[in-house]
A and B are shown apart, each in its own frame.
Chain A
Amino acid sequence: EIVLTQSPGTLSLSPGERATLSCRASQSVSSNYLAWYQQKPGQAPRLLIYGASSRATGIPDRFSGSGSGTDFTLTISRLEPEDFVMYYCQQYGNSPLTFGGGTKVEIK
Protein backbone atom coordinates (compact mmCIF):
# COMPACT_ATOMS: atom_id res chain seq x y z
CA GLU A 1 0.00 0.00 0.00
CA ILE A 2 1.29 3.45 -0.91
CA VAL A 3 1.32 5.79 2.08
CA LEU A 4 0.87 9.47 1.28
CA THR A 5 2.28 12.00 3.74
CA GLN A 6 1.03 15.57 3.44
CA SER A 7 2.93 18.51 4.89
CA PRO A 8 2.54 20.75 6.64
CA GLY A 9 -0.41 19.59 8.67
CA THR A 10 -1.54 23.20 9.00
CA LEU A 11 -0.50 26.16 6.84
CA SER A 12 -1.13 29.65 8.24
CA LEU A 13 -1.19 32.33 5.57
CA SER A 14 -2.92 35.59 4.66
CA PRO A 15 -5.28 36.24 1.76
CA GLY A 16 -3.33 37.07 -1.38
CA GLU A 17 -0.33 34.99 -0.36
CA ARG A 18 0.96 31.90 -2.16
CA ALA A 19 0.32 28.46 -0.67
CA THR A 20 2.53 25.46 -1.32
CA LEU A 21 1.22 22.08 -0.14
CA SER A 22 3.32 18.93 -0.29
CA CYS A 23 2.36 15.29 -0.79
CA ARG A 24 5.08 12.65 -0.52
CA ALA A 25 4.50 9.02 -1.45
CA SER A 26 6.17 6.01 0.20
CA GLN A 27 6.90 4.64 -3.28
CA SER A 28 6.68 5.94 -6.80
CA VAL A 29 3.14 6.72 -7.96
CA SER A 30 2.47 4.85 -11.16
CA SER A 31 2.02 7.12 -14.20
CA ASN A 32 1.84 10.11 -11.82
CA TYR A 33 -1.74 9.15 -11.04
CA LEU A 34 -2.08 11.73 -8.27
CA ALA A 35 -5.14 13.85 -7.53
CA TRP A 36 -5.82 16.78 -5.22
CA TYR A 37 -9.12 17.61 -3.53
CA GLN A 38 -10.47 20.56 -1.58
CA GLN A 39 -12.95 19.90 1.21
CA LYS A 40 -15.06 22.53 2.95
CA PRO A 41 -16.69 21.73 6.32
CA GLY A 42 -19.79 19.59 5.93
CA GLN A 43 -19.25 19.08 2.21
CA ALA A 44 -17.96 16.33 -0.03
CA PRO A 45 -14.45 16.73 -1.42
CA ARG A 46 -14.12 18.67 -4.68
CA LEU A 47 -11.66 17.50 -7.32
CA LEU A 48 -9.04 20.14 -8.12
CA ILE A 49 -6.24 18.32 -9.94
CA TYR A 50 -5.81 14.88 -11.54
CA GLY A 51 -2.85 13.29 -13.28
CA ALA A 52 -0.63 15.38 -10.99
CA SER A 53 -1.06 18.56 -13.04
CA SER A 54 -4.36 18.61 -14.97
CA ARG A 55 -6.95 21.02 -13.61
CA ALA A 56 -10.45 19.64 -13.28
CA THR A 57 -13.36 21.31 -15.02
CA GLY A 58 -14.27 24.67 -13.57
CA ILE A 59 -11.25 24.95 -11.27
CA PRO A 60 -9.69 28.46 -11.21
CA ASP A 61 -6.20 28.78 -12.67
CA ARG A 62 -4.77 29.94 -9.34
CA PHE A 63 -4.69 26.21 -8.47
CA SER A 64 -1.85 24.24 -10.03
CA GLY A 65 -0.31 20.84 -9.47
CA SER A 66 3.18 19.60 -10.16
CA GLY A 67 5.56 16.80 -9.35
CA SER A 68 6.32 13.22 -10.29
CA GLY A 69 7.46 9.95 -8.80
CA THR A 70 7.17 10.38 -5.04
CA ASP A 71 6.98 14.15 -4.60
CA PHE A 72 3.97 16.24 -5.57
CA THR A 73 2.91 19.82 -4.90
CA LEU A 74 -0.33 21.75 -4.97
CA THR A 75 0.19 25.48 -5.37
CA ILE A 76 -2.44 28.16 -4.82
CA SER A 77 -0.95 31.27 -6.38
CA ARG A 78 -3.03 33.90 -4.53
CA LEU A 79 -5.22 32.78 -1.67
CA GLU A 80 -8.85 33.86 -1.79
CA PRO A 81 -10.97 33.84 1.40
CA GLU A 82 -12.80 30.70 0.26
CA ASP A 83 -9.50 28.78 -0.09
CA PHE A 84 -8.94 28.55 3.67
CA VAL A 85 -10.14 24.97 4.05
CA MET A 86 -8.82 21.37 3.94
CA TYR A 87 -6.86 19.75 1.10
CA TYR A 88 -6.17 16.07 0.41
CA CYS A 89 -3.97 14.26 -2.07
CA GLN A 90 -4.88 10.83 -3.42
CA GLN A 91 -3.02 8.27 -5.52
CA TYR A 92 -4.82 6.00 -7.94
CA GLY A 93 -1.90 4.31 -9.64
CA ASN A 94 -1.84 1.35 -7.30
CA SER A 95 -4.52 -0.56 -5.46
CA PRO A 96 -5.60 0.10 -2.81
CA LEU A 97 -6.26 3.73 -3.65
CA THR A 98 -5.01 5.86 -0.78
CA PHE A 99 -5.38 9.41 0.52
CA GLY A 100 -3.00 11.63 2.41
CA GLY A 101 -3.87 12.83 5.89
CA GLY A 102 -4.66 16.34 4.69
CA THR A 103 -3.36 19.89 5.01
CA LYS A 104 -5.50 22.58 6.59
CA VAL A 105 -4.96 26.07 5.20
CA GLU A 106 -5.94 28.61 7.82
CA ILE A 107 -6.01 32.39 7.98
CA LYS A 108 -2.98 33.84 9.75
Chain B
Amino acid sequence: QVQLQESGPGLVKPSETLSLTCTVSGSFINNYYWSWIRQPPGKGLEWIGYIYYSGSTNYNPSLKSRVTISVDSSKNQFSLKLNSVTAADTAVYYCTRGSGWYAYWGQGTLVTVSS
Protein backbone atom coordinates (compact mmCIF):
# COMPACT_ATOMS: atom_id res chain seq x y z
CA GLN B 1 0.00 0.00 0.00
CA VAL B 2 1.00 3.63 -0.40
CA GLN B 3 3.07 4.95 2.48
CA LEU B 4 4.64 8.35 3.05
CA GLN B 5 7.19 9.23 5.71
CA GLU B 6 8.39 12.71 6.63
CA SER B 7 11.90 13.27 7.91
CA GLY B 8 13.95 16.26 8.97
CA PRO B 9 14.97 18.35 11.97
CA GLY B 10 12.39 18.79 14.69
CA LEU B 11 13.87 22.08 15.84
CA VAL B 12 14.77 25.06 13.65
CA LYS B 13 16.05 28.45 14.77
CA PRO B 14 14.19 31.65 13.85
CA SER B 15 15.27 33.16 10.51
CA GLU B 16 16.73 29.83 9.36
CA THR B 17 15.41 27.38 6.76
CA LEU B 18 13.08 24.50 7.54
CA SER B 19 13.88 21.46 5.38
CA LEU B 20 11.80 18.29 5.24
CA THR B 21 11.84 15.25 2.99
CA CYS B 22 9.02 12.84 2.25
CA THR B 23 9.94 9.31 1.25
CA VAL B 24 7.27 7.48 -0.73
CA SER B 25 6.84 3.71 -0.84
CA GLY B 26 4.21 1.61 -2.56
CA SER B 27 3.79 4.25 -5.27
CA PHE B 28 6.05 5.75 -7.86
CA ILE B 29 6.57 9.50 -7.75
CA ASN B 30 5.93 9.61 -11.49
CA ASN B 31 2.47 10.52 -12.75
CA TYR B 32 1.23 11.97 -9.47
CA TYR B 33 1.05 15.28 -7.66
CA TRP B 34 2.63 15.54 -4.22
CA SER B 35 1.68 18.06 -1.54
CA TRP B 36 2.63 19.52 1.81
CA ILE B 37 0.07 20.53 4.43
CA ARG B 38 0.73 21.83 7.92
CA GLN B 39 -1.15 22.13 11.20
CA PRO B 40 -0.06 24.40 14.06
CA PRO B 41 -0.55 22.78 17.47
CA GLY B 42 -4.24 22.83 18.42
CA LYS B 43 -5.24 24.57 15.20
CA GLY B 44 -6.58 23.79 11.73
CA LEU B 45 -4.98 22.65 8.50
CA GLU B 46 -3.13 24.87 6.00
CA TRP B 47 -2.25 23.86 2.46
CA ILE B 48 1.36 24.78 1.62
CA GLY B 49 1.61 23.69 -2.00
CA TYR B 50 2.11 20.85 -4.44
CA ILE B 51 4.47 19.63 -7.12
CA TYR B 52 3.89 17.46 -10.15
CA TYR B 53 6.51 14.78 -10.83
CA SER B 54 7.62 16.80 -13.84
CA GLY B 55 8.54 19.68 -11.53
CA SER B 56 5.68 22.14 -12.01
CA THR B 57 4.53 23.66 -8.74
CA ASN B 58 1.66 25.57 -7.16
CA TYR B 59 2.11 27.33 -3.83
CA ASN B 60 -0.14 29.02 -1.31
CA PRO B 61 0.25 32.77 -1.96
CA SER B 62 0.56 33.34 1.79
CA LEU B 63 3.82 31.35 1.77
CA LYS B 64 4.93 31.59 -1.84
CA SER B 65 7.84 33.97 -1.24
CA ARG B 66 9.42 31.56 1.26
CA VAL B 67 8.54 28.08 -0.05
CA THR B 68 10.23 25.68 -2.44
CA ILE B 69 8.94 22.18 -3.13
CA SER B 70 11.13 19.87 -5.19
CA VAL B 71 11.05 16.25 -6.33
CA ASP B 72 13.74 13.59 -6.71
CA SER B 73 12.30 10.76 -8.79
CA SER B 74 15.47 8.67 -8.51
CA LYS B 75 14.98 8.45 -4.74
CA ASN B 76 11.16 8.44 -4.85
CA GLN B 77 11.21 11.48 -2.59
CA PHE B 78 9.98 15.04 -2.56
CA SER B 79 11.04 17.88 -0.32
CA LEU B 80 9.93 21.10 1.32
CA LYS B 81 12.05 24.13 2.10
CA LEU B 82 10.62 27.08 4.01
CA ASN B 83 13.02 29.92 4.64
CA SER B 84 13.08 32.79 7.11
CA VAL B 85 10.99 30.85 9.62
CA THR B 86 9.38 32.36 12.70
CA ALA B 87 7.50 30.92 15.65
CA ALA B 88 4.33 31.09 13.52
CA ASP B 89 5.79 28.30 11.35
CA THR B 90 5.76 25.88 14.29
CA ALA B 91 3.46 23.08 13.17
CA VAL B 92 3.04 19.42 12.33
CA TYR B 93 4.01 19.10 8.68
CA TYR B 94 2.32 16.41 6.59
CA CYS B 95 3.28 15.15 3.16
CA THR B 96 0.45 13.82 1.01
CA ARG B 97 -0.26 12.45 -2.44
CA GLY B 98 -2.47 14.45 -4.75
CA SER B 99 -3.40 18.00 -5.73
CA GLY B 100 -7.05 18.05 -4.75
CA TRP B 101 -8.39 15.63 -2.18
CA TYR B 102 -5.92 13.66 -0.12
CA ALA B 103 -6.31 9.95 0.53
CA TYR B 104 -2.69 9.25 1.45
CA TRP B 105 -0.89 11.08 4.25
CA GLY B 106 2.34 10.72 6.13
CA GLN B 107 2.12 10.45 9.90
CA GLY B 108 3.31 14.05 10.23
CA THR B 109 6.37 15.54 11.84
CA LEU B 110 6.40 18.32 14.41
CA VAL B 111 8.75 21.16 13.60
CA THR B 112 9.32 23.71 16.35
CA VAL B 113 10.84 27.09 15.58
CA SER B 114 12.74 28.29 18.62
CA SER B 115 16.15 29.61 19.56
- Among A43, A56, A90, A102, which residue has its beta carbon within 8 angstroms of that of B103? A56
Residue A88 is within 8 A (CB to CB) of chain B in the complex: yes
- A residues 81-108 near B (Cβ < 8 Å) are 88, 90, 92, 95-102
**C-alpha spacing A46/B61, complex, angstroms:** 25
**C-alpha spacing A96/B106, complex, angstroms:** 21
Instruction: Tell me, rounded to whole Å, the shortest Cβ–Cβ distance linking A79 to chain B.
Output: 22
Contact partners of B94 in chain A: CB under 8 A: 44-45
Asked whether, in the complex, the Cβ of B101 is within 8 Å of the Cβ of A50, the reply is: yes
Residue B102 is within 8 A (CB to CB) of chain A in the complex: yes
- B residues 88-107 near A (Cβ < 8 Å) are 94, 99-103, 105-107
Which of B44, B62, B108 has the most chain A CB within a 10 Å cutoff? B44
Contact partners of A92 in chain B: CB under 8 A: 99-101
**C-alpha spacing A38/B20, complex, angstroms:** 25
**C-alpha spacing A19/B55, complex, angstroms:** 42
Which of B61, B101, B108 has the most chain A CB within a 10 Å cutoff? B101
- For the residues of A in contact with B, the DSSP-based class is loop
Asked whether, in the complex, the Cβ of A45 is within 8 Å of the Cβ of B101, the reply is: no
Asked whether, in the complex, the Cβ of B108 is within 8 Å of the Cβ of A99, the reply is: no
Count of A-B contacts with CB under 8 A? 50
Residue A11 is within 8 A (CB to CB) of chain B in the complex: no
Residue of A nearest to B96 (CB): A44
Evaluate whether A96 and B47 lie within 8 angstroms (CB atoms) in the complex, with A44-B106, A44-B107, A45-B102 already known: yes
**C-alpha spacing A85/B89, complex, angstroms:** 25
Spell out A's residues near B (CB within 8 Å): 1, 33, 35, 37, 43-47, 50-51, 56-57, 88, 90, 92, 95-102
23 contacts between A and B (CB under 8 A): A1-B61, A33-B100, A33-B101, A35-B101, A37-B102, A43-B107, A44-B105, A45-B45, A45-B105, A50-B100, A51-B101, A57-B103, A88-B44, A88-B45, A90-B45, A90-B101, A92-B100, A96-B62, A97-B60, A97-B100, A99-B45, A100-B44, A101-B44
Q: Given A47-B102, A57-B103, list of 19 further CB < 8 A pairs?
A: A33-B100, A33-B101, A35-B101, A37-B102, A44-B94, A44-B105, A44-B106, A45-B105, A46-B105, A47-B103, A50-B100, A90-B45, A90-B101, A92-B100, A92-B101, A96-B61, A97-B100, A99-B44, A99-B47
